[in-house]
């Protein structure tokens, strides 16, 4: 007997980080988790959502944004530190481009990261005015992103309950 019923699969993107904001120290290593996630996840998501919107692709995404993550994304101090993080990486990449000028493979990689960090800085400051939350809200407002949340009294609780 053949079952001809069709079903649907739904994937939910879960965006969460433990609360890692430490205003008492300017170079707190764990804050780089947020900066890495911003460059490697949140900005690429927004960039691809924007591209889909511009190409008039009908898409739908459900994504959780947890309270600790939203609090960190909204923090003026963490926004300032993210800009410093990008500027530091841009400076390092510029030095690497010069240092690796005789190694084509490494030079190409250095240029890739230089372009990537410059792009992240431009997108963060110029496209989203240092407010990625409003970027996600835009896609919610036009009906392509359903933002959900979860209760997260601690990172451990949200990591297990909200999967």
Find the mean pLDDT for residues 23-43: 85
Q: Is residue 26 part of a domain?
A: no
Distances (CA, A) of 146 to 16, 34, 64, 71, 155: 16, 22, 8, 19, 22
Q: Which domain holds residue 92?
A: 13-21+32-161
Segment 79-101, tens digit of pLDDT: 999 999 999 999 999 999 999 99
* Residue 7 in domain: no
pLDDT digits (tens, 9 = 90+) for 10-20: 666 666 666 67
Q: 41 lies in a domain?
A: yes
Per-residue tokens: 78: 């963490």
- Is 124 a domain residue? yes
Does pLDDT of 38 surpass 70?
Answer: yes
Total domains present in the chain = 1
38 located within any domain:
yes
Average pLDDT, the chain: 86
- Is residue 60 within 8 Å of residue 144, measured between CB atoms? yes
Assess whether pLDDT exceeds 80 at residue 9: no
Residue 27 counted as domain residue: no
CA distance 117 to 110: 11
Higher-pLDDT residue of 65, 50? 50
Q: How confident is the model at residue 159 (pLDDT cuts 50, 70, 90)?
A: very low
Region 93-110: what's the mean pLDDT? 98
Q: Is residue 1 part of a domain?
A: no
Residue 139 lies in a domain: yes
Alpha-carbon distance 116 to 86, whole Å? 10
């Amino acid at each position: 007997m053949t079952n001809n019923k069709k079903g649907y699969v739904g994937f939910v993107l879960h965006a969460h980080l433990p609360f890692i904001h430490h205003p008492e120290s300017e170079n707190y290593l764990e804050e780089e988790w947020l900066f890495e996630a911003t460059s490697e996840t949140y900005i690429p998501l927004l960039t691809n959502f924007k591209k889909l919107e511009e190409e008039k692709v009908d898409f739908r995404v459900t994504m959780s944004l947890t309270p600790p993550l939203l609090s960190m994304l909204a923090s003026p101090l963490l926004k300032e530190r993210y800009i410093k993080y990008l500027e530091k990486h841009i400076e390092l990449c510029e030095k690497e481009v010069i240092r690796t000028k005789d190694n084509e493979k490494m030079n190409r990689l250095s240029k890739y990261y230089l372009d990537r960090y410059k792009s992240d800085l431009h997108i963060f400051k110029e496209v989203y005015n240092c407010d990625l939350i409003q970027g996600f809200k835009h896609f919610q407002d036009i009906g392509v992103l359903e933002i959900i949340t979860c209760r997260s009294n601690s990172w451990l609780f949200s990591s297990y309950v909200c999967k």
